Amino acid sequence: MITKKDLEHMAWLSRLELSGEDTEKYTPKLNSVLDYFGELDKVDTEGVEPTYHVLQLSNVFRDDEPSQPTKPLSQEEALSNAPRKQDGFFKAPRMM
């Protein structure tokens, strides 16, 4: 059972501002939700397999192979379109 004090504390933890009217309004609503969870706890679930997802989904991965074998780029080819390069490396702006 959630009291008004509990609701105010949860609102404070969540950084929500609730007026006195909101506290009066939401306390019984949250208690009815908790009552419903109590009803669900009474359901016999013996032999029922846990359901993690409603649909039986699985990821289908392909092998990570190139579509056609290619030779690696040479250093000159890799740097050919670089806007800035220095001593055979890409030159990037200084970060600090």
Q: What is the C-alpha separation between 48 and 46, in angstroms, rounded?
A: 6
pLDDT per position as a tens digit, 15-70: 999 999 999 999 999 999 999 999 988 999 899 888 887 887 788 888 887 777 77
Contact 18, 11 (CB under 8 A): yes
Note the pTM of the prediction, 2 decimals. 0.46
Q: What is the C-alpha separation between 16 and 34, in angstroms, rounded?
A: 21
| Residue in the structure block whose two tokens are 């007026």 | 19
For the chain, list the domains and their CATH numbers.
4-41 (1.10.20)
